[in-house]
């Protein structure tokens, strides 16, 4: 019988005993390729990119007068000089859509950013510390959730007037509740995982646990939530504008435009209603597609395939 020891020694020396690394490539590359496979998500990204360019870069390319009213040219149907016609004040509709889109996207992104930052911190602290702090924070969240958001915003915007920043802050101040609950749930699952125990065994402080271990691992859920929140914010903004409590003139967003245009339907001014509506639906849908695809990507159970 040959001496097994010698042979296995040779094999050992030729490559590390643990074997070569065979696994899939780095995490984000895997996630990216899995994201790209979802055609709807790619379409969603495309739509968002298009609208970003359309709303923010468009005005540099397509000049239209959005400041001086021109009542003579009001309510013109699409035609020469005005591809989408003009509105009640004689402003070019296409230019108006671009401007409205700026405000909508800005508010959507900014409010969801505010909501996510507050929500993540609150959720992580509540989830990790547990006990009385957790209970207190969650009851606070429950209380806020039971306040009808709409009324608060109506009161605030009526009282203070609505600008992009103010609206973002208000919408954000009430939307963080959902992400706080989400992050808390993630943190509760994460904190009993072995790698958190290992960090504690090494002497990691609570801050280190939260910022280096818990939040990065909860980020997946958070990012998915951001996209849905952007979609919800834009939707909500449209609702506000529709009720007449949106941005003040001369700022405008899609909701305002829809509201103003509602009466125009009866008069047959379809170009004031449908283009704006389509843009709104497309942007909200695009964010939802991206959110769905991100959720599929982030969900580890589905990822391995």
Partner 1 sequence: MPLLEIADLSVDIKLSRSVVKPVGNISLSIEAGETLGLVGESGCGKSMTGLSIMRLLPSGGHIVSGSIMLDGRDLVAMSDAEIRAVRGNEVAMIFQDSLTSLNPTMSIGEQIAEPVRRHRGASRREALDRATEMLGLVGFPQPKSQLGTYPHQLSGGQRQRVMIAIALACDPKVLIADEPTTALDVTIQAQILALLDDLKARLGMAVLLITHDMGVVAGRADRVNVMYAGRIVEGAPTSPLFSHMHHPYTQALLGSIPKLTQDPDVELFSIPGLPPDLTAPPAGCRFAARCRLATEQCRALEPPLAGPDPSHVFACWHPVDGPVAVEVARPARLEPVAAAGPAGGYPEVGRPEVGHPEVGHPEVGRPEVGRPEVLVLDSLVREYPVTSGMVLRRQVASVKAVSGVSLTIGRGETFGLVGESGCGKTTLGKIIVGLEKPDSGTASFEGTDISSLSSRSFRKFRRDMQMMFQDPIGSLDPRMRVGAILREPMEIQGIGSRRTQDGIISDLLREVGLPAAAVERFPHEFSGGQRQRIGLARVLTLSPKLIVADEPVSALDVSIRSQVLNLMKRLQDTHGMTYVVISHDLAVVKYLSDRIGVMYLGKLVEIGSADDIYQRAAHHYTAGLIATIPEPDPDREKAKTAVAIRGELPSAVEPPSGCRFRTRCPAAAEVCAMEEPPLRDFGPGHQAACHFPLRAPLRQPVLVRSGESNSGIEHRVEDVHHRVHDDDE
Least CB distance to partner 1 at residue 282 (A): 28
Q: Which is nearer to partner 1, 9 or 267 (CB)?
A: 9
CA distance 110 to 230: 9
Q: Which is nearer to partner 1, 205 or 248 (CB)?
A: 205
Q: Which is nearer to partner 1, 216 or 250 (CB)?
A: 216
Torsion angle, alpha carbons of 216, 220, 224, 227, to 10: 40
Least CB distance to partner 1 at residue 24 (A): 6
Q: Which is nearer to partner 1, 154 or 204 (CB)?
A: 204
Task: Name 245's Cβ contacts closer than 8 Å, sequence gap at least 6.
Answer: 153, 154, 157, 158, 162
Least CB distance to partner 1 at residue 17 (A): 3
Q: Which is nearer to partner 1, 121 or 204 (CB)?
A: 204
Least CB distance to partner 1 at residue 58 (A): 38
Least CB distance to partner 1 at residue 118 (A): 22
Least CB distance to partner 1 at residue 280 (A): 34
List residues binding partner 1 (CB under 8 A).
1, 3-5, 7-8, 11-12, 15-27, 34, 37, 193-195, 197-205, 208, 212-213, 216-217, 219, 305
Q: Which is nearer to partner 1, 59 or 130 (CB)?
A: 130
């Amino acid at each position: 019988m040959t001496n097994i020891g010698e042979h296995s020694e040779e094999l050992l020396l030729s490559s590390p005993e643990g074997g070569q690394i065979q696994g899939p490539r780095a995490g984000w590359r895997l996630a990216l390729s899995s994201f790209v496979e979802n055609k709807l998500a790619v379409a969603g990204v495309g739509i968002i990119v298009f609208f970003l360019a359309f709303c923010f870069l468009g005005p540099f390319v397509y000049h239209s007068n959005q400041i001086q009213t021109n009542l003579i040219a009001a309510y013109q149907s699409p035609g020469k000089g005005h591809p989408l016609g003009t509105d009640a004040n004689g402003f070019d509709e296409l230019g108006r859509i671009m401007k409205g889109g700026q405000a909508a996207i800005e508010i959507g992104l900014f409010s969801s950013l505010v909501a996510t930052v507050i929500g993540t911190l609150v959720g992580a602290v509540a989830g990790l510390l547990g006990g009385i702090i957790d209970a207190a924070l969650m009851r606070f969240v429950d209380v806020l959730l039971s306040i009808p958001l709409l009324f608060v915003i109506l009161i605030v915007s009526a009282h203070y007037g609505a600008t992009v920043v103010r609206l973002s802050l208000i919408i954000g101040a009430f939307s963080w509740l959902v992400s706080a609950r989400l992050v808390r749930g993630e943190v509760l699952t994460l904190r009993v995982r072995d790698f958190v125990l290992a960090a504690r065994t090494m002497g990691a402080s609570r801050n280190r646990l939260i910022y280096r271990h818990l939040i990065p691992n909860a980020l997946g859920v958070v990012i998915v939530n951001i996209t849905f929140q952007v979609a919800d914010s834009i939707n909500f903004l449209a609702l506000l504008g529709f009720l007449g409590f949106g941005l003040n003139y001369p700022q405008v967003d899609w909701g305002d435009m829809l509201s103003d245009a509602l009466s125009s339907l009866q008069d047959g001014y379809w170009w004031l209603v449908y283009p704006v509506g389509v843009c709104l639906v497309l942007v909200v849908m695009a964010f939802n597609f991206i959110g769905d695809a991100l959720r599929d990507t982030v969900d580890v159970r589905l990822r391995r395939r």
